[in-house]
Amino acid sequence: MKNMRLILSFLSSVPSLGLLAAESGYIAPLTEHGVPDFQGTWSIATQTNLERSERFGSELEISEEEAIRIEARVRAGMQASNQPSDPNREAPDAGRNVGGYNTFWMDPGDRLATVNGEIRTSILVDPADGKLPYSEQGRAKYAAAMRRRNSYDGPEVRPLGERCVVGFGSTGGPPKLPVLYNNLTQIVQTEDYVLLLAEMNHDARVIRLNAELPENTQYPWMGDSIGYYEEGSLVVETTNFHPQQSLRSSLDHRFYGSQQMKVTERFTRVADDAIHYQFTVEDPENYAQPWSGELPMNHTQDQMFEYACHEGNYALPGILAGARTADVEGSEYAATDPGQ
């Protein structure tokens, strides 16, 4: 009840998403079943991070002038890192980490998120400081999960995206968050189901409409989702997450959640080319309070391409073999250098 009061308090502090569309005079198209039509391909790519950078302080919104400066620096950095590399470079550069593919292949978005005409400094809108409200226990679990993620003890500890199981981070959701590339989502609606198909790893989330969550579950990838239409919005409730999806990590969008975490999403069509996406996460096992965020989903004519994820499937033996070599070299170095 306490968590529900917090959520209701947050929702009452901002205009109803359905009212946002109504106040703008926009009337959403309807499907043949008489419900708001969200079908099409939408992008959630943005430079806005889940949590707010310290430099923005308590400011959720920044001016267009400041946004232009930030976006220009991002574009310049992308262009610089896309320069051809020199395979014949001399020491001391020789032998250093050559990195992955260059930024030609990356598409994280080059604009900050704009919601309700405001240029946002964080996806998080509640708490007001733009920070995840971890409890002491939750922060400890997050730190432990990050240590496991950064180890190479076996294939199971490598990220799910690297293993081609599901997409990196939380691209398929819920909640849906931007990733390094393949930020498109295709929405398909029928009378009884809604399909959210994320381009990365072709993760398909099938939402059962006007249904109830079963008492017994198998904890599927991306959880178990049910949905309903309310005041011109599609509302989706998801829980019972797969245990290996506790840590979501991509770019600067990182969070930790329990299997019993509940995510409530709201999709509202506010223009022909825009969906207002809002979510609230309830997880008392790891957080001191529920937390909420907002993102624009922008309509695009870009095509959904196959995400042929083979790198991790074929490279894992090499990744782990390299880690074992590093273990040996590290041990030998430590034996000759007491300072290590």
How does pLDDT run across 227-268, given as a tens digit for each residue?
Answer: 999 999 999 999 999 999 999 988 788 999 999 999 999 999
Among residues 205, 293, 283, the alpha carbon closest in space to that of 246 is found at 283
Rounded CA separation 193/227 (Å): 8
Among residues 265, 268, 269, the alpha carbon closest in space to that of 280 is found at 265
Residue 121, phi then psi, degrees to nearest 5:
-95, -10
Interval 45-84: pLDDT, tens: 999 999 999 999 999 999 999 999 999 998 888 888 777 7
Among residues 130, 119, 113, the alpha carbon closest in space to that of 274 is found at 113
Rounded CA separation 242/259 (Å): 6
Taking the model in full, what pTM does it have?
0.85
**Is residue 55 within 8 Å of 121, Cβ to Cβ?**
no
Q: What pLDDT, on the 0 to 100 scale, is given for residue 182?
A: 92
**Residue 338 lies inside a defined structural domain of this protein:** no
**Residue 86 lies inside a defined structural domain of this protein:** no
Maximum separation of any 2 CA atoms in the chain, in Å: 74
Would the pLDDT of 8 be above 60? no
Rounded CA separation 73/51 (Å): 19
**Residue 97 lies inside a defined structural domain of this protein:** no
Within 10 Å of residue 9's Cβ, how many Cβ atoms?
11
Q: What pLDDT, on the 0 to 100 scale, is given for residue 12?
A: 41
Interval 168-209: pLDDT, tens: 999 999 999 999 999 999 999 999 999 999 999 999 999 999
Rounded CA separation 139/251 (Å): 19
Within 10 Å of residue 333's Cβ, how many Cβ atoms?
10
Would the pLDDT of 102 be above 90? no
**Residue 187 lies inside a defined structural domain of this protein:** yes
Tally of domains within the chain: 1
Peptide bond into 243 cis (omega under 30): no
Among residues 118, 127, 117, the alpha carbon closest in space to that of 50 is found at 127
Six-digit token pair at 331? Answer: 């041990």
Q: What pLDDT, on the 0 to 100 scale, is given for residue 236?
A: 98
Rounded CA separation 56/62 (Å): 8
CA 314 to chain centre: 25
**Is residue 46 within 8 Å of 178, Cβ to Cβ?**
yes
Rounded CA separation 322/318 (Å): 6
**Residue 92 lies inside a defined structural domain of this protein:** no
Q: Report which residue type is found at 124.
A: L
Residue 7 belongs to what domain range?
A: 2-78+104-330
